[in-house]
Amino acid sequence: MTLFGLEITLDLILYTGAFGLIVIGAAGIVLAHHLFRVILALAIAEAGANLLLVLSGYRWDAIAPILSGSESAAPMVDPVPQAMVLTAIVIGVGVQALAVGLAMQVKKTYGTLDMSAIRQRLEADIAGTAGIATTGSQDAPLGERPLPPADAVPVTPGSSAR
Amino acid sequence: MNQIVLIVVLPLLAAFLVPIVARMSASLGAALGPLVMGVCLWITGTVAIESAGNAFAINIGGFMPPLGITFFVDRLALLFAFLTALLVLVLWPFQGEHRPREHALTLILAAASGGLALSGDLFNIYVFYELVSVASFGLVATGRRSSAPAIRYLILSGFGSVLALVGIALVYTQTGTLNLAHLSQLAPTHLINPIGLAAFALILLGVGVKAELFPVNTWVPEVYATAPNRVSALLAGLVSKLAALVILRLLVLVFAQEQALLVMLLLGLLGVITGELAAWRAQDMNRMLAYSSIGQLGMVFVAFSIPGETGVFAGLAIALHHLVVKPALFLLAARWGGALSGLAGAAGGNLPAALLFTLFALSLVGVPPLPGFWAKLLLVMGLAEQVGPLYHFALAGILIATVVEANYLFRIVSTLFHRDSPASPAPQKHSGGDIATAGLFGASLIAAVLLLIPLSQSLKTIAQQTADAAAYRAVVTLAPTTSTLGDTQ
Amino acid sequence: MRNLASLLFAGGLGFLLMVFGLQFDFGNAPMLVGQAIQSAAPEQVGAANIVTAVVLGYRGIDTLGELAILFAASTAVGLILGHRHTSTKPDPDSGLILRAGGELLMPLLLVVGLYIILHGHLTPGGGFQGGVILAAAFFIPVLARPSTPLKHTGMMLIEGFSGAAFILIGLAALYSGGEFLQPLLDKGTLGNLVSAGTLPLLYLAVGLKVGAELAGLLAHLAAAEVSES
C-alpha cells in the first residue's frame, strides 16, 4: 500500500507509533496546564520508549521465545528486549504511582493542580521562606519564615492571606 | 572478592526489613541503617586492599559477560563505592524523629549509588539510575513544603529517563548487546556514526538530569531551596557525581568520538556560565549554593570533554573537591537559609561556622594552597593544552566564571563578618551535629592540603586506569560465542 | 514563547528520531546476546520461557533493582501521605451485588494469580503479571467495602519478607561458593512444573512482593483520598 508516494509498511507504522507517542508525551509535558495531564503525558512518552525498545528485538522469521517440546530449533525473537521492557514497565508504574501520590500532596498544600499557579506559588513560597521580596508574591508574608505546621489548613487559590 | 556485590545487596536487604524491625524494636530499627552502612564501608575497604588496585570483574549469577550482568570493579568504582557509604553515614538522619521509611529510602539511595559505581551493563545502569531517582524523590518530598518541587523534579527526571531509554534502544538496535566491554569492542564499527552520536546525546540528557547538566537542571534551585538540607547535601554531593561518573564511563568506553566531546564541552560551558551568573544574582543562601553547584558540575563536564587522561584527572579532582565542600556548605546553610542580607554580623554569634564557611568559600573560588585551587589549575592547564577555538573559549569562560564566583562568595563572607549589624534579628545558632559534621569536612579539606602530593598521585593513577578503554576490555572476558558473532557482523 | 520553543524541541526530536528510525533494519535484529542466550539458556537456567530465564537468571539483579523501585515508590507514598490519619468518615459500603461480587472474585483472582506466578518459568506470565492480579484480589474487596481497609501490618510483613527472601536466595548462592543469584538446585526436566532450580521460588517472592507493594500503594492513595474529602 502506498500513500503520498510513501510505501506504508509494518515497520513504518510501528516506528511512527513509537516516535509519535514520545513526541505526543513531550508536547503534553510542556503544554498541559493540569498536573494530572502532565503525569499522563509522561506515561504516554514512557509507552513510546517501551515500544521502541521491544521493536529492537523483533525478527520477521521468528516465534515467541518459549521452548515447547521438539521444535526448539525454530528461530525465536530476541528475549533480552522483552525482559528489558518488562523491567521498564514496572519502573514506569512505580514512578507514576509516586507522581500521583505527590500530586495529591500538592493539591493539599496549594489547593490547585494548575501547573502555572503551582509554579507561581512555589516561587513566592521560596522567596517568602528566604525573606526576600519578589515581584508578584502578594500572598507571601515577608520578614519571618512562614513555616506552618505540616497539617496546615490547605490554602485555596482565592484566599489572599494565610 | 565477589563479596563486593554486598554493598548493593545488603542495604537493599536492610531497607526491606527496616519497617518490620522498627515495629519490633524502635532502637534496633534506628541502629540497623548506620550499622549496615558501616559494614559496607568495611567491605569496600577490605576489597580495595585485597585487589591492590587491579581491576577485576564479577559476573552476577555466574553467567559469562555479554549474557549476564557484569560488575566492573576498578579503583574509580571502589573510590566512589567507599565515598557513597561514607557520605551516607556522615549525613545519616540521626537527628529529629525516627522515621523507618526515611531510613529505608536512604538505604535504597546508598544501594543504588553503589550499583551505579560498579555496574558494567548499560541497562543495569538505567535500573540503578531510576532507583536513585525514586529514592531521591521520596527523600526530597520529606521537606515541609517540597511536594511541588519534588513533582516538578519527578516530571523532568521521568522525561529524561524516557530519553535515556530511547538512547539505550538505539544502542541495542545497532549492536544487539548491553555489556559495556562488549559495546566498547563493537563501538568502532557500529556506534561511531550519527546514530551513535544521537544515542549519546539522548543518554547524556537523560542521565544529565541528576548530574545538573545545563538544559535539564531547572529542578536544582527549587529542590535545594526546599528539601531538607541533608538531602540537598546528598544530592549535590553524591548523586550528581555518580551521574557524572556514568557519563564518563560511557564516554570513555562507548561513545569515544570527537563530536560527543564537543557536545559535552558546550553543555558544560553553558552550565558554568549560567550557573555562576545565577548564583551571583541569588539573594538567599540555598539557591546561591544550588546555582554554584550547577556551575561546578559544568566545570566537571568541561574537564571530561578534554580527551584522554588529563581530562579525567582534572574532572575527578573538581568532582571530589565539590563532593567535600558542597555537603558541608549545605549543612551550614541549614540555619542560614534566609536572605543573604539577613546574615550581617552572623559571625559574631557563631564564629566556628563563619570560619568554616570562609574556608569552604576560599577553596571553592580556588585560592592557593587549598585543594580547589589545584583542581582548577589542572582544568585550566588541560584546556590550554588543547588546540581548537572552542577549548580556548571554554578556558576564558572558566576564568570569568571564577571571577564571578569570587565576587559573590567574598560578598557573603564580608557580610558574615560585618560588625555593626542592623536591627535585624540574629540568625539561629547551628545545631552541634551540623557544625561537627561540617568541621569534619573542613578537616578533610585541610588534610588534603597537607597530603596533596600523595593524593594527587593516587588520583592520577585512578585517572590513568579509568581512561584506558583497552584495559577495561581486557579485564572483562566475554563468552566466546558472542565475540565471534560480533566479528561476523 | 516558551511553548513555541518546546514545541519546536518536540517536533525536532520527533523528526530526528524518525530519520534514524527509517535507517534501522527492522525485523532483522542483530541478536548477538539474544542468540547466545537462546542456545545456552535451557542448559544454564533450565526454564522453558526464555524471557523468564533472562529476567531472573541472566539479568536477575535488574529484577532486584526493579523490586526495590516498587518498594521505594510505595515507601515514599507512605512517607508523604501516610501520616495523615483518616479523620473523616470513609465512603459507605457499596451494595449487595458489588460486595458479593468482590467476595466471590477474591479467591478466583488469588488462584489465577498464583497459577500465573508459579508457571512463570514455563508459559508467558510470571511474578510481575501474577503479582498485579494478587494486588487486585486484595484491593477489590476494599473497593466494595471502604470501611474495612487493608491491614497495613500484614502487607508490610509480606513485602519485607518476600523481598528479603529474594535476596537471601541470591546470597545462599554467593555463600555456597558461586556468585550472587547463581541458579541453585537441580534443573529438572525442561518444561516440568518443578524445574529450573530456584527460579520458581524467586518468582514466587517477586509475585508476593509486587502484590503487596501495589496493594499497599493503592491503599495509601485511597486512604489519602478519603481523608481529603
- State how far the alpha carbon of B78 is from the alpha carbons of B41, B61, B116, C93, C187, in Å: 10, 21, 11, 56, 36
- Flag if A53 and B172 touch (Cβ within 8 Å): yes
Q: Which three cell numbers stand for residue C7?
A: 514545541
Domain extent listing, chain A: 2-59+78-113
Least confidently predicted of A1-10, B208-217, B345-354, B469-478: A1-10
| pLDDT score for A141 | 41
Q: Give SS3 for B172.
A: helix
Instruction: Read off the pLDDT band of C227 (50, 70, 90).
Output: low
pLDDT above 50: residue A156: no
**CB-CB neighbors (< 8 A) of C214 in chain A:** 93
Helices and strands in chain C: count of H runs, count of E runs: 8, 0
Residue B17 within a domain: no
- Work out the average pLDDT over B16-21: 90
- Determine whether the interchain pair C62/B147 forms a contact, defined as Cβ–Cβ distance below 8 Å: no
pLDDT at position C206: 92
The tens digit of pLDDT for each residue in B346-393 reads 777 778 888 898 999 999 998 888 999 999 999 999 998 888 888 989
Q: What confidence score (pLDDT) does residue A135 get?
A: 45
Q: For residue A3, which amino acid is it?
A: L
Asked if residue B469 is part of any domain, the answer here is yes
Q: Give the one of C18, C70, C84 whose C-beta lies nearest to A19's C-beta.
A: C18
Q: Give the whole-angstrom CA distance, residue C45 versus residue C53.
A: 6
Q: What total number of domains does chain B contain?
A: 1
User: Count of CB contacts below 8 A, A vs B?
Assistant: 128
Distance from the Cα of C178 to chain A's closest Cα (Å) equals: 24
pLDDT computed for residue A150 by the predictor: 42
When CB atoms are compared, the residue of A29, A52, A119 closest to B169 is A52
Higher per-residue pLDDT: B244 or C20: B244
Q: How far is B325 from chain C (nearest CA, A)?
A: 29
- Whether residues C36 and B59 touch (CB distance < 8 A) is answered with no
pLDDT exceeds cutoff 80 at B479: no
Q: How many CB atoms lie within 10 A of CB B411?
A: 14
Please, what is the average pLDDT of chain C?
Answer: 82
Mutate to test the interface with B, among A87, A89, A102 (most CBs of B within 10 A): A102
Which of A22, A38, A147 has the CB atom closest to B166's CB atom? Answer: A22
Residues of A in contact with B151 (CB under 8 A): 35, 99, 102-103, 106
What average pLDDT does range B394-409 have in this prediction? 92
Q: Is B198 on the interface with A (CB under 8 A)?
A: no
A133 chain-B contacts, CB cut-off 8 A: none
**Percentage, residues of chain B above pLDDT 90:** 52
Q: What are phi and psi of C49, to 5 degrees?
A: -85, 110
Q: What confidence tens digit (pLDDT) does each residue in C140-162 have?
A: 888 888 777 777 788 888 888 99
> How far A26 CA sits from the closest chain B CA (Å)?
8
**Percentage of chain C lying above the pLDDT 90 cut:** 21
CA distance B432 to chain C (A): 27
Question: Between B345 and B11, where is the model more confident?
Answer: B11
Higher pLDDT, A158 or B43: B43
Per the domain annotation, does B420 fall within a domain?
A: yes
Mean of the per-residue pLDDT values for chain A? 76
Contact B116, B246 (CB under 8 A): yes
Contact status of C202 with chain A (Cβ, < 8 Å): no
Of B39-43, B340-344, B384-388, the least confident: B340-344
- Report whether B45 contacts B52 (CB < 8 A): no
Of the candidates C3, C38, C69, the beta carbon closest to that of A65 is on: C38
Q: pLDDT category, A49, cuts 50, 70, 90?
A: very high
Question: Model ipTM?
Answer: 0.91
Q: Do A56 and B150 touch (CB under 8 A)?
A: no
Q: What is the mean pLDDT of chain B?
A: 88
Residue B23's pLDDT band, with cuts at 50, 70 and 90, is confident
B287: part of which helix (H) or strand (E)?
Answer: helix B285-304
Q: Residue A42's pLDDT is what?
A: 94
What pLDDT digit, counting tens, does each position of B138-180 carry? 999 988 788 889 999 999 999 999 999 999 998 998 888 899 9
State which residue of chain B sits closest to A54, comparing Cα positions: B169
Average pLDDT over residues B332-347: 75
pLDDT of residue B304: 93
**Where is pLDDT greater, at A59 or C227?**
A59
DSSP H/E element including A141: none
Residues in A touching C76 (Cβ below 8 Å): 98, 101
Would you identify the CATH topology of the domain A2-59+78-113?
Helix Hairpins (1.10.287)
What pLDDT was estimated at residue B486? 41
Mean pLDDT on A28-44? 91
**Distance between CA A77 and CA B489 in Å, rounded?**
18
To the nearest whole Å, the CA of C132 is away from the closest chain A CA by: 10
Asked if A31 and C7 come within 8 Å (Cβ–Cβ), the reply is yes
B342 touching chain A per CB within 8 A:
yes
Give chain C positions within 8 Å (CB) of B15.
Answer: 68, 71
Distance CA B233, CA B327 (A): 4
pLDDT attached to residue C110: 92
pLDDT at C79 over 50: yes
Which pLDDT score, from 0 to 100, does residue B156 have? Answer: 93
Task: Give residue-wise pLDDT tens across range B43-91.
Answer: 999 999 998 888 899 988 888 888 889 999 999 999 999 999 999 999 8
Residue B170 DSSP SS3: helix
B169 touches chain A (CB under 8 A): yes
pLDDT of residue B189: 86
Q: Which of A3-17, B95-109, B233-247, C143-157 has the highest mean pLDDT?
A: B233-247
Counting other chains too, the contacts that B189-193 makes at CB distance below 8 Å and 24 or more residues apart are B189/B489, B190/B489, B191/B254, B191/B255, B192/B256, B192/B257
Residue A114, SS3? strand
Nearest 10 degrees: Cα torsion A56, A62, A64, A70:
-150
Q: In angstroms, rounded to a whole number, what is the distance separating the alpha carbons of residues C124 and C152?
A: 31
Nearest neighbour of A145 by CB, restricted to B127, B161, B338: B338
Chain C nearest-CA distance from A133, in A, is 25
Stretch B417-430: mean pLDDT, rounded? Answer: 64
Q: Min CA distance, B422 vs chain A (Å)?
A: 14
Of C20, C163, C173, the CB nearest to B198: C20
Query: Of B239, A27, A79, nearest to C34 (Cα)?
Result: A79
Chain B: list its partners (3+ Cβ pairs within 8 Å).
A, C
Give me the residue from C18, C49, C80 closest to A105, CB to CB.
Answer: C80
Q: Is the pLDDT of residue A48 over 70?
A: yes
**The pLDDT of residue B429 is above 80:** no
Q: What is the mean pLDDT of residues C135-144?
A: 86
Are the beta carbons of C217 and A97 separated by less than 8 Å?
yes
Contact C173, C180 (CB under 8 A): yes
What pLDDT score was predicted for residue B250?
93
Q: Is the pLDDT of residue A139 over 50?
A: no
Q: Closest chain C residue to A8 measured between Cα atoms?
A: C22
Tell how far CA C157 is from the center of its chain.
17
State the DSSP string of A59-98: BTT-B-SB--TTGGGS-B--HHHHHHHHHHHHHHHHHHHH
Domain span at residue B172 reads: 146-488
Residue B36 in any domain: the answer is no
- Residue range A64-112, pLDDT digits in tens: 787 776 555 677 888 899 999 999 999 999 999 999 999 988 888 888 8
Q: What is the pLDDT of residue A162?
A: 35
Residue B384 neighbours by CB distance under 10 Å? 10
Contact present, B307 and B337 (Cβ < 8 Å): no
- Looking at B58-193, list the stretches that DSSP marks H as alpha helix, in order from N- to C-terminal side: 75-90, 100-118, 122-140, 147-175, 180-190
pLDDT, average across residues C185-197: 74
